[in-house]
Amino acid sequence: MRIPAVVVYSLLLLCAGPANALGTPGAADTGERFVAAINSVDGGAFNDMLDAEAIAARVLGGIAPDAPERKGFHNVLSSKYSMLGWSLSAQFMAGKARAKLVSATDGEALVRVTMGEPGDLAHSYMRLKVGAGGKIEDWYDYALAMSMSEQLRFSAASEIPLTTLVAMLFGRSDDAATVAKFKSFAAHVVQGNQAAAYKTLQSMPDEVKASRAYATLSVVLSRQLGIDAYRETLNALVKSHGEDKELQFILIDHYFMTEQYEKALAAIAAAEQELGADEVMSAQRCAALIGMQSYQDALVACDRALAIDPTFDTALWTRVRVGLTSKDAELVVASLERVEEATGTPIDYDELSQRDAYAWVREQEPFKEKLRASPNSAQ
């Protein structure tokens, strides 16, 4: 099971509550239309929902309202973002995204997005900011730990002077060294050299590294470079912003990778307060409890997830893992039967038994019975 970003926007591409807590009709309607646009890969529907003017204004939030250059920048960015919906649609299509409305309140809607194929799913949550007329003005992506406007700021480097952009991001417009490093960073991104961009980012002054903008930009880049860079970034993130409520979802990754399962449970509980206790969170709780060898509690958590969605792939296979880890052959077989029932697809028990994790259960009678009934079995 993995948590990494549902929508890992590359910087180059950018240059181009409870489950039933549905409140304000306007926000709920926008959330439902946003979900439908993702599920139908409808770029035009995205465009109809996005408020390009408001998005541009948020991108320029660090420029004084009376600054003479603001109007010109705003006009350029409004035009640039007027087709943003089509770019978003392409991203979601490439990731085989499916979405679900989780909740809606005054001016906000929370949407869960799942990407990938069964057995390799990634989940995220997007909190939409809904303005007048139901238009989307911005959203916060919990898997990226950044808002859309923050992401788009990096694509505005050609429209906004670097000194201004650095001031907006890090508050250091008077630091020539920081501006120079950021210029080098931007050049590497444009060239597609993400490794060099990440290295340049790591060489920023300590004052910059302490900022939230730096931390979450590191997350986006490190995910494109591989697990070692991602581990390094999360380790730094938990030290600098470990108590940030908006970051608890992404920090679950860190605690799983470092086998700190009690802290993973605490992060899951904190994320549930922010996002709601849905089937994704219950499956995460199940995985953490497996790590703590609390198998009965893990099974309860998995079954709670499956009570919400009996076809939820992550919870189905994590339930199998409870049986494998606790050496409970009957639970393994019963859980595999639930997978078959939920998916409508027979499992090849002979092929499954060749995997290392199933070596011990191959010799147990409940599993051997399945093997004998398998069309490919030599037994």
Chain-centre distance for alpha carbon 277:
16
pLDDT bin (cut points 50, 70, 90) of residue 2 is very low
Higher pLDDT, 156 or 313: 313
Class of domain 1-157: alpha beta
Range in 26-35, 211-220, 252-261 with the lowest mean pLDDT: 211-220
Tens digit of each residue's pLDDT (9 = 90 or more) over 116-160? 987 788 999 999 999 988 999 999 999 988 999 988 887 777 788
**pLDDT at residue 317 above 90?**
yes
Tens digit of each residue's pLDDT (9 = 90 or more) over 255-267? 999 999 999 999 9
The CATH architecture annotation of domain 278-373 reads: Alpha Horseshoe (1.25)
Mean pLDDT across 245-254: 94
Mean pLDDT across 265-291: 96
Mean pLDDT across 233-237: 93
**pLDDT at residue 377 above 90?**
no
Mean pLDDT across 267-291: 96
Range in 64-78, 230-244, 342-356 with the lowest mean pLDDT: 64-78
What pLDDT is attached to residue 160? Answer: 83
Q: pTM, whole model, 2 decimals?
A: 0.85
Token pair for 209: 């590294």
What pLDDT is attached to residue 275? Answer: 94
Domains 1-157 and 278-373 share a fold: no
Domain boundaries, the chain: 1-157, 161-241, 278-373
**pLDDT at residue 112 above 50?**
yes
Mean pLDDT, the chain, rounded, equals: 87
Decide if 192 contacts 12 (C-beta within 8 A): yes
What pLDDT is attached to residue 159? Answer: 83
Q: H/E/C letters for each residue in the chain?
A: CCCCCCCCCCHHHHHCCCCCCECCHHHHHHHHHHHHHHHHCCHHHHHHHECHHHHHHHHCCCCCCCCCCHHHHHHHHHHHHHHHHHHHHHHHHHCCCEEEEEEEECCEEEEEEEEEECCEEEEEEEEEEECHHHCEEEEEECCCCEEHHHHHHHHCCCCCCHHHHHHHHHCCCCCHHHHHHHHHHHHHHHHCCHHHHHHHHHCCCHHHHCCHHHHHHHHHHHHHHCHHHHHHHHHHHHHHHCCCHHHHHHHHHHHHHCCCHHHHHHHHHHHHHHHCCCHHHHHHHHHHHHHCCCHHHHHHHHHHHHHHCCCCHHHHHHHHHHHHHHCCHHHHHHHHHHHHHHHCCCCCHHHHHCCHHHCCHHHCHHHHHHHHHCCCCCC
**pLDDT at residue 332 above 90?**
yes
**pLDDT at residue 19 above 80?**
no
